């Protein structure tokens, strides 16, 4: 097979079959290629959780992960926030001709490993190949004279409910608010890579099945969950409490942040509260269950930095008590959250 | 207008550049505007060192703060600071 | 130092006179908002956000020129990240990108040297925006570009200086004291701010960017105002000397000369801009024209100058919430996320 993806490989003929066999079937279906149906048949339940997400991250490969791992984690975590057990994923690839096949192999392997870690199967997919990038088109990581071929991935996922579905409407005045990991880590990783900053910050992209399922099995009463992705904690809290008579009161001193990430943000004038993650969950539980829930989360692989950061209180908008004792009303991210001079 | 951050000079690379570091973040900075040496704490703005930070001044400020608050508490102390009045 | 906030808390709470303190620097505004300092000040000490955000005070004509350059084939505009969202008459640089223009952000303008070498047939236009803190950084770049005669790097400057605008604002009766821009003072030394205190008989404190230090500065100002004194204090001595930073100023003066500049929402302020000297005109893309073009027709009704000087509150401006919103900002008070009008709108 060629070293670079060609348009022929997207046209549905012999070359497409060879691509699927040598990469996707190999990593996702244990090499099985005989009698592949057009749709996978999956064991479901009375109610299903269903979600979709697309991934266009740049750069494709970064400290701690790649677009493949993101594509699997993102959709799995979205399913988990509803309290569902993820069952199966689809993945659609749109690849620009000229893309390195070796890179595609790495991405597919990463997706397979991440799915295996989460005990979720990738059961169906699709591949399209489009025209290579033109000279003159460029992105931040590209030069106009030498544009790199890119890949875009969509994953959709279904989950079944072994426990009661979770909804944001369950959030009650007095609930404790827990974050399962350090803030802003993934954003800092991507921004570091884009700007050529040298550090050891690695993406926190991870499937959070162990955390969620440990909580569910423990009997702790879960009210709601939400993952902290683009826009960061402030944006997520503003969305959750947009039309509610109460909102989050959180404490800056309790927010877990890696010192390296905090300093990175300072250098670029970024606000940690507007920097996102890919493996960090907000968990709302009754105040009486907070300590128990925290203990369970901290015993999990991706929950060791978890912390109780505040509670749902009698305030109109999400508010932060700052380290020096001041008060700051939180706002959602506006614009792109780029480095500032001002 | 002045996003700038104190960093430590880890290694001098040339007359004009050095590696500055803060909590594991390392960047190449331009040092043409200040006289820096390895180990100095410097103020970094847009990739350039604007000033070597004077750590002895930190102690001076602590004294100033102490006087500010003692003066406040007693309602009496005058600090010698400039034309137009002390505290 | 960690005891400053508790020590001042009672004093601020009991402060009985209504006073207005201007925090001039955009980064001070940002730290103040992020640290929630206004909530510590009681009801009578009001912080007014001043015009010290060089990005926010770039006039629309300058943005329009950048947009035009970004949309020009074989041309790429480079700027600080926060410049990309500032609106011109039709769009921002981000808007130009969306319709095929080339605009990218840098952490340091010196990044352009490598980009220009990699793409010799592209002209890179550097949006040189900032105050005295940043002018030397652009002077370093100019030094490289001009010495090496790099043909595909050009400047569009909107550099501004603090003393002229401070002079204007301090003359207004409404502001009682000034929290002075610490990193500008690193370059200028104490003198310009001592001078403001003496000339306008209003207290001035040069402070850094630690929230405790800012709180201490506000405390000193509040005390001075209460005692009807107008002292000058430098509590950022680790970085700010009495004298100016020699090398930085020398390099800035080598390449830039003073000229008039239009401040968005305020108007023309004499001698408040810095432009490449005439002998370096080959490296400039029309900065003086872009920077002095007044835009009455676009900003008619904008009352930022009155908001900035504390004379009116945001809702009193006729454009507030109608023509001027956070996503369609007219003047700097709305352009800046922490600007008085933007914060109020939220």
Query: From the CA of B68, how many Å to the nearest CA of chain C?
Result: 8
- Say whether pLDDT at A136 is over 60: no
The tens digit of pLDDT for each residue in A293-328 reads 999 999 999 999 999 999 999 999 999 999 999 999
Query: From the CA of B30, how many Å to the nearest CA of chain C?
Result: 9
SS3 content of chain C, % helix, strand, coil (to 5): 45, 20, 35
What is residue A241's three-state secondary structure? coil
* Residues in B touching A201 (Cβ below 8 Å): 24
Q: Does A3 touch chain C (CB under 8 A)?
A: no
- Say whether pLDDT at B81 is over 50: no
Chain B residue with the nearest C-alpha to that of A262: B23
CB contact under 8 A, B2 and C25: yes
Q: Which residue has the higher pLDDT, A120 or A30?
A: A120
**Cα C55 to the center of its chain, rounded Å:** 6
Among A27-41, A42-56, C211-225, the minimum mean pLDDT is found in: A27-41
Q: Does B44 touch chain A (CB under 8 A)?
A: yes
Range(s) for CATH 3.90.650.10 in chain A?
168-329
Supply the range of the domain harboring residue C126.
1-346
CB contact under 8 A, A325 and C40: yes
Chain C residue with the nearest C-alpha to that of B47: C108
Among A98-102, B61-65, C207-211, the minimum mean pLDDT is found in: B61-65
The reported pLDDT for the residue numbered A335 is 78
Instruction: Quickly name the fold that domain A7-160 has.
Output: 60s Ribosomal Protein L30; Chain: A; (3.30.1330)
CB contact under 8 A, B24 and A200: yes
Say how many Å lie between the first and final Cα of chain B, rounded. 29
CB contact under 8 A, B1 and C53: yes
- Say whether pLDDT at A144 is over 90: no
Q: What is the mean pLDDT of residues A104-126?
A: 96
Q: Does B27 touch chain A (CB under 8 A)?
A: yes
Segment 251-270 of chain A within 8 Å of chain B by CB? 259-260, 262-264, 266-269
Neighbours of chain C (3+ CB pairs under 8 A): A, B
Q: What is the mean pLDDT of residues C222-226?
A: 96
* Residues in C touching A335 (Cβ below 8 Å): 85, 94
CB contact under 8 A, B26 and A268: no
CB contact under 8 A, B46 and C7: no
The tens digit of pLDDT for each residue in C153-201 reads 999 999 999 999 999 999 976 899 999 999 999 999 999 999 999 999 9
Which H or E run includes B59?
Answer: helix B55-74
DSSP string of A318-335?
A: -EEE-TTS-EEE-----T
Q: Does B82 touch chain C (CB under 8 A)?
A: yes
CB contact under 8 A, C118 and A340: no
Q: What is the mean pLDDT of residues A203-229?
A: 96
The tens digit of pLDDT for each residue in C278-329 reads 999 999 999 999 999 876 655 678 888 888 877 888 899 999 999 898 888 8
Q: What is the mean pLDDT of residues C94-110?
A: 95
- Measured in residues, chain B has a length of 87
The reported pLDDT for the residue numbered B82 is 35
Q: Sheet of C75-80: strands edge to edge?
A: C103-106, C75-80, C123-130, C153-160, C267-276, C256-263
Q: Where are the domains of chain B?
A: 4-53
Angle at B59 between CA B56 and CA B63, to 5 degrees: 140
Q: Does A140 touch chain B (CB under 8 A)?
A: no
Rounded CA gap, B23 and C22, in Å? Answer: 33
CATH 1.10.10.10 matches B4-53: no
The reported pLDDT for the residue numbered C2 is 57
| CB pairs < 8 Å spanning A and B | 41
CB contact under 8 A, B44 and A267: yes
Q: Please give the share of chain A, as a percent, with pLDDT higher than 70.
A: 96
- Say whether pLDDT at A141 is over 70: no
The reported pLDDT for the residue numbered B83 is 36
Structure ipTM over 0.90, yes or no: yes
Q: Report the half-sphere exposure of A287 (CA within 13 A, side-chain side).
A: 8
The tens digit of pLDDT for each residue in A180-203 reads 999 999 999 999 999 889 999 999
Range(s) for CATH 3.30.1330.10 in chain A?
7-160
Total domains in chain C come to 1
The reported pLDDT for the residue numbered C85 is 87
What is residue C11's three-state secondary structure? helix
DSSP string of C277-303?
A: -GGGGGGBSSHHHHHH---HHHHTT--
* Residues in B touching A193 (Cβ below 8 Å): none
Chain B residue with the nearest C-alpha to that of A264: B25
- Please state which architecture CATH assigns to domain A168-329: Alpha-Beta Complex (3.90)
| CB pairs < 8 Å spanning B and C | 140
* CATH code, domain with C175: 3.40.50.11740
Neighbours of chain B (3+ CB pairs under 8 A): A, C
């Amino acid at each position: 097979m060629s070293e670079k993806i060609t348009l022929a490989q997207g046209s549905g003929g012999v070359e497409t079959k060879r691509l699927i066999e040598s990469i996707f079937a190999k990593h996702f279906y244990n090499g099985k290629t005989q009698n592949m149906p057009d749709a996978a048949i999956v064991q479901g339940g009375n109610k299903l959780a269903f979600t979709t997400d697309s991934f266009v991250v740049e750069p494709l490969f970064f400290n701690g992960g790649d677009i493949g791992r993101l594509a699997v984690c993102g959709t799995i975590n979205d399913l988990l926030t509803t309290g569902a057990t993820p069952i199966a994923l689809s993945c659609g690839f749109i690849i620009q001709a000229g893309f390195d096949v070796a890179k595609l192999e790495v991405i597919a392997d990463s997706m397979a490993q991440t799915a295996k870690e989460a005990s979720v199967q990738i059961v169906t997919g699709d591949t399209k190949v489009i025209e290579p990038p033109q000279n003159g088109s460029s992105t931040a990581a590209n030069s106009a004279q030498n544009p790199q071929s890119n890949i875009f991935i969509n994953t959709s996922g279904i989950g079944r409910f072994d426990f009661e579905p979770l909804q944001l409407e369950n959030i009650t005045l007095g609930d404790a608010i827990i974050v399962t990991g350090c803030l802003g880590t993934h954003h800092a990783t991507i921004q570091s890579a884009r700007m050529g900053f040298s550090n050891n910050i690695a993406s926190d992209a991870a499937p959070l099945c162990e955390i969620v399922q440990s909580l569910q099995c423990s009997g702790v009463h879960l009210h709601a969950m939400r993952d902290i992705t683009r826009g960061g904690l402030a944006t997520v809290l503003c969305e959750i409490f947009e039309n509610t008579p109460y909102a989050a009161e959180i404490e800056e001193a309790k927010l877990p942040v890696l010192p390296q990430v905090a300093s990175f943000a300072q250098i670029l004038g970024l606000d940690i509260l507007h920097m996102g993650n890919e493996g960090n969950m907000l968990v709302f539980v009754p105040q009486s269950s907070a300590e128990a829930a925290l203990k369970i989360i901290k015993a999990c692989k991706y929950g060791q930095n978890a912390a109780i950061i505040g509670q749902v209180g009698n305030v109109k908008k999400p508010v932060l008590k700052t380290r020096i004792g001041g008060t700051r009303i939180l706002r959602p991210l506006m614009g792109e959250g780029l480095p500032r001079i001002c | 207008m002045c996003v700038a951050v104190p960093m430590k000079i880890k290694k001098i690379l040339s007359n004009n550049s050095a590696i500055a570091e803060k909590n594991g973040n390392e960047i190449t900075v331009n040092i043409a505007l200040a006289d820096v040496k390895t180990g100095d704490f410097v103020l970094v703005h847009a990739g350039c060192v604007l000033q070597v930070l004077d750590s002895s001044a930190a102690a001076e400020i602590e004294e100033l703060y102490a006087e500010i608050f003692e003066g406040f508490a007693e309602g009496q102390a005058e600090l010698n600071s400039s034309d137009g009045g002390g505290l | 130092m960690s005891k400053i906030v508790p020590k001042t808390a009672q004093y601020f709470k009991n402060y009985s006179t209504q006073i207005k303190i201007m925090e001039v620097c955009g980064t001070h505004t940002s730290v103040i908002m992020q640290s929630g300092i206004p909530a510590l000040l009681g009801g009578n000490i009001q912080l007014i956000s001043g015009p010290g955000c060089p990005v926010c005070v770039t006039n629309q004509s300058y943005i329009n020129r950048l947009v035009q350059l970004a949309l020009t084939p074989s041309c790429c505009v480079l700027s600080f990240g926060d410049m990309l969202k500032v609106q011109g008459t039709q769009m921002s640089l981000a808007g130009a990108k969306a319709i095929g223009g080339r605009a990218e952000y840098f952490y340091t303008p010196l990044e352009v040297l490598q980009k220009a070498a990699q793409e010799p047939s592209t002209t890179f236009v550097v949006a040189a925006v900032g105050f005295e803190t940043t002018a030397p950084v652009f002077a370093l770049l100019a030094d490289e570009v001009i010495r090496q005669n790099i043909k595909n790097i050009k400047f569009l400057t909107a550099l501004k200086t603090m003393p002229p605008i401070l002079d204007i604002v301090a003359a207004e009766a409404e502001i009682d004291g000034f929290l002075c821009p610490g990193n500008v003072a690193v370059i200028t030394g104490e003198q310009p701010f001592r001078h403001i205190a003496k000339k306008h008989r209003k207290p001035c404190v040069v402070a850094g960017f630690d929230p405790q230090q800012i709180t201490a500065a506000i405390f000193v100002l509040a005390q001075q105002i209460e005692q009807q004194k107008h002292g000058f204090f430098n509590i950022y001595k680790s970085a700010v000397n009495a004298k100016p930073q020699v090398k930085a100023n020398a390099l800035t003066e080598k390449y830039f000369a003073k000229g008039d500049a239009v401040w968005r929402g305020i108007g023309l302020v004499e001698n408040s801009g810095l432009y490449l000297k005439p002998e370096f005109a080959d490296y400039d893309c029309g900065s003086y024209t872009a920077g002095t073009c007044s835009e009455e027709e676009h900003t008619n009704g904008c009352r930022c100058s009155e908001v900035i000087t504390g004379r009116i509150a945001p809702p009193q401006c006729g454009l507030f919430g109608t023509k001027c919103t956070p996503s369609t900002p007219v003047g700097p008070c709305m352009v800046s996320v922490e600007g008085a009008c933007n914060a109020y709108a939220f």
